Structure 1
Amino acid sequence: MRIGNNPHKDEVLPQSDYLHQVVIPVYIPHQEGYFKDSLRIFQLCIQSLLKTVHSKTCITVVNNGSCEIVIEYLDQIYHEGHIQELIHTENIGKLNAVLKGLAGNNIELVTITDADVLFLENWQESSTKVFRALPKAGVVGVVPQFCMYKNKCGNILFDTLFSEKLKFIPIQFSEGLVRFYDSIGWDRSYNKDYLKYGLGLEHDNVKVFVGSGHFVATYKKQMFQEMKSYFNYKLGGDSENYLDTLPLKYDYWRVTTYDNYAYHMGNVFEDWMSEIEHNKNNRTEIDFGFVVHKQAISFMVLLKNELFPKFLFNHSISKLFYNWKKLPKSMVNNYNNIIPK
């Protein structure tokens, strides 16, 4: 039996005070073998995040079927008020866990990050500066990587091909690149020219590299309004490709900050990880109100992101492109070399 009306019926939700959300899916099923150091690394991830975000940041952690000791740690930091949202699930797959974290709010920017990322000072401020300087940016990474302009970046290349602002620029912090590829198990036999120059874009005194990885990146939340609700992979398959291709449907550019603002730690703890020092971020100037796009015309998505890159990265055409965009001549012939893993 029910008597009367629920007093909250038809009540409009107030606008959230949060301007930035960070979603972290975490899966640590035990503390042996591959996962031996994972909890320690995840704790460093959380600690670095708490020290580098502003007060209007909502941190959402999705426990994707972790073991009891991880659950206890998460419950503790939630009840202590360090994180704003905590979702416990069985192992439903990484991207499905991310989707759970995205649902239920309308915060303008959302950073999706792996649980083994060590955040550095000013990553948040530098990301929002890029969104402000480049209204077409829809994804901003904070860790430069090799040749990301070849991955789902046809639209930015198409739009800026004849601009002098699109050109190869010197890598500012090659050590960050080395650490990243060490962390994912690559040997160091890759082309060392990739440590010296990358394809960049400069606008309003803000430099970025073209392209972005997806282990940590910030997205305009608007593009997730009609997001897919389920992926049938625990990891990989077509799930990670979803985060790379979704921005293209809105003709958003994928870029990365010029400097390196995070480290990928991997699954093995190293002493340097705990030696990174942070100063508490007390920044009061916070950006909001970024430009949003409607869905792009399907033909233009196909033209920019499928047909155009095939033409541009034809072996002969790509060399002309590299010369035109000021890659040092000594690097042009070898810049297309396959990167070993």
Structure 2
Amino acid sequence: MRSGFNPEKIKEEKNVLKPHRVVVVFYIPEIESDYYREAGKVLDVCLDSLIKTINPETTNITLINNNSTPKVEAVVEKYRSHLDKYVFYNENKGKVFAVLNEVRGVFEPFVTITDSDMLFYSGWEKSVFEVFRQFPQAGVVSPIPLPYLTFHYNQNVFGFPSFSGQIQYGKFVDDEDIELYLKGTNLPNLINRKAKYNWKEKQFVLKKKNGFTAVIGAYHVVSTYRTDQFRNVYTFPELKFQNSYETNFIDCLANPNGFFRLSTMKTFAYHIGNNLDDVVEKHQFDDSLLISPDEIDKVVKKQHYSSWYILWNRFIGKLLIKHLWNK
């Protein structure tokens, strides 16, 4: 039998909606083998760099532990006070399951999904949201220039915008930024693709009349999304792991929503991998580059297009990619 009055009912406390949430998923089953030996240190660097480079007034962090070994729990506890939410699964559900189960219920209008082996650079939030501000049709923005993924689920960019003169092809991204990405992924063969020029020599960019430029292409290893595209989507990831499984559940969402997939011109995050290197050791942070609430407020809300516009734009984009742009 209830006795007395619940004092919580009269406090009238309110929740605060911030504009941005970062979701980090990690799975470290053990730390004895060569592959996972430095995984705990990599997670430490990732969380440390993330916390140092976001503005807590605008951004919340969700950390998801996919049933990792208890031996890395000390890393989590080290940053526990900085986390808005900590999720622990009693079995490894896989990255896609863990991410979708979280982002489909996110209130924030923007959500960053990132692997746990990223080094975040100062100013990454400012740079990402400036791309959203300059290109309101952007639905996905990566803090790493990713020209090799220009055509990956990006038909919307190459539809009607092909006739506006905004799409340009040439040498825009510095070699240093491309080499930094190749160094982190340790996949040198990525530089080769079926084209007259490889993506290190020339890149596709979207350039406005005011001169602002963004690389065409984004990737699920770390990207910021307009949360709208995750609404009313209920596909279920049956597999716990499959290479590039995110493509079927995350990357594909931009097209039906009429969104562009873009990335920053300069490097604002580094893919560490499973071993710390000289890039991590030499990196320094700059507190003056934290984003301000006003900078996010300037971002235009999602542009609404009719389903017919989106369908025709995608169709035209698909044709132009095949017969014009991707030769």
Which residue matches 2:225? 219
Provide structure 1 residue ranges, at least 5 long, that are not aligned to the other structure.
Answer: 323-335, 337-341
Which residue matches 1:331? none
Q: Is the Cα–Cα contact under 8 Å of residues 25 and 99 in structure 2 kept in the other structure? A: yes
My pick for the range that moved more, 182-191 or 199-208, is: 182-191
Q: How many residues align?
A: 315
Shift in Å at residue 309 of structure 1? 4.8
TM-score (ref. length: structure 1): 0.82
Shift in Å at residue 141 of structure 1? 0.9
Q: Secondary structure at the match of 1:34?
A: coil
Give the counterpart of 1:279 among 266, 281, 286.
286
Shift in Å at residue 295 of structure 1? 7.7
Q: How far apart in 1 are the matches of 2:235 and 2:63?
A: 18
Give the counterpart of 1:312 among 289, 295, 320.
320
Q: How far apart in 2 are the matches of 1:230 and 1:12?
A: 38
| Change in 2 beyond 3 A, CA 1:162/1:5 | farther
| Change in 2 beyond 3 A, CA 1:284/1:8 | same
The one-letter code sitting in structure 2 at the alignment partner of 1:291 is K
Asked whether 1:265 is paired with 2:272, we answer yes
Q: How far apart in 2 are the matches of 1:195 and 1:87?
A: 39
Structure 2 counterparts to residues 244-263 of structure 1, below 5 A:
244-263=251-270
My pick for the range that moved more, 107-116 or 92-101, is: 92-101
Q: How far apart in 2 are the matches of 1:276 and 1:68?
A: 29
Structure 2 counterparts to residues 288-327 of structure 1, below 5 A:
288=297, 290-293=300-303, 297=307, 301=310, 303-305=312-314, 307-314=315-322, 317-318=323-324, 321=325
Q: How far apart in 2 are the matches of 1:128 and 1:143?
A: 13
Shift in Å at residue 115 of structure 1? 0.5
Which residue matches 2:71? 69
Give the counterpart of 1:198 among 185, 189, 203.
203
Q: Is the Cα–Cα contact under 8 Å of residues 159 and 320 in structure 2 kept in the other structure? A: no
TM-score (ref. length: structure 2): 0.85
Deviations 1:142-164 (A, max 9, x none): 11123322111111110211122
Identity of aligned residues (%): 25
Q: How far apart in 1 are the matches of 2:126 and 2:291?
A: 11
Q: How far apart in 2 are the matches of 1:98 and 1:278?
A: 28
My pick for the range that moved more, 139-148 or 117-126, is: 139-148
Which residue matches 1:28? 28
The one-letter code sitting in structure 2 at the alignment partner of 1:280 is D
Provide structure 2 residue ranges, at least 5 long, that are not aligned to the other structure.
Answer: none
Q: Is the Cα–Cα contact under 8 Å of residues 20 and 107 in structure 1 kept in the other structure? A: yes
Which residue matches 2:174? 173
Structure 2 counterparts to residues 1-341 of structure 1, below 5 A:
1-2=1-2, 14-31=14-31, 32-56=33-57, 57-78=59-80, 81-89=81-89, 90-102=91-103, 104-187=105-188, 190-191=191-192, 193-203=198-208, 204-228=210-234, 230-236=236-242, 238-281=245-288, 283=290, 285-286=292-293, 287-288=296-297, 290-293=300-303, 297=307, 301=310, 303-305=312-314, 307-314=315-322, 317-318=323-324, 321=325
The one-letter code sitting in structure 1 at the alignment partner of 2:72 is V
The one-letter code sitting in structure 1 at the alignment partner of 2:269 is A
Shift in Å at residue 140 of structure 1? 0.7
Over the aligned positions, Cα root-mean-square deviation in angstroms equals: 2.8
| Change in 2 beyond 3 A, CA 1:250/1:195 | same
List structure 1 runs of 4+ shifted beyond 6 angstroms.
3-9
Q: Is the Cα–Cα contact under 8 Å of residues 173 and 203 in structure 2 kept in the other structure? A: no
Q: Is the Cα–Cα contact under 8 Å of residues 112 and 224 in structure 2 kept in the other structure? A: yes
Shift in Å at residue 138 of structure 1? 0.9
